[in-house]
Amino acid sequence: MLQTSLHEIETSSELEKLINENENVMVCCGRMGPMCIPVYDAMEELKDERANVKFFTMAFDNPQASIIKDAPECRGFMGLPFTMYYKNGKVVKATTSIQSMDQITNILDTHFQN
């Protein structure tokens, strides 16, 4: 289990339900490692500022995370975390490795404008 204040997705069916019920979703799939923690921290800060986006985590070592790890958008990814951005149930962006607050907000601004 990841130690964040964000809701952790446990199953692939839960992920599918969340991305289909929410217009804008960011999911960070990782571990509690040095490349992942800064992304979780940014998400925890942004969840109060960006009411139009739902922020979730998923443990990379959870077998159910194959829904993200095996996604075509993640083909060739090497570094954790794998971060997926969904709009209306479809992947609009996927990133690998550490992301700064500026990089994350840039993606949110680009893909999740209302």
Domain count, the chain: 1
Domain limits for position 13: 7-111
Q: What is the pLDDT of residue 34?
A: 96
Q: Is residue 98 part of a domain?
A: yes
Q: 16-72 pLDDT, tens per residue?
A: 999 999 999 999 999 999 999 999 999 999 999 999 999 999 999 999 999 999 999
SS3 59: strand
Q: 82-100 pLDDT, tens per residue?
A: 999 999 999 999 999 999 9
Q: Is residue 1 part of a domain?
A: no
Q: Is residue 2 part of a domain?
A: no
Cβ(80)–Cβ(30) below 8 Å: yes
What is the amino acid identity at position 72?
P
- Find the CATH number of the domain harbouring 14: 3.40.30.10
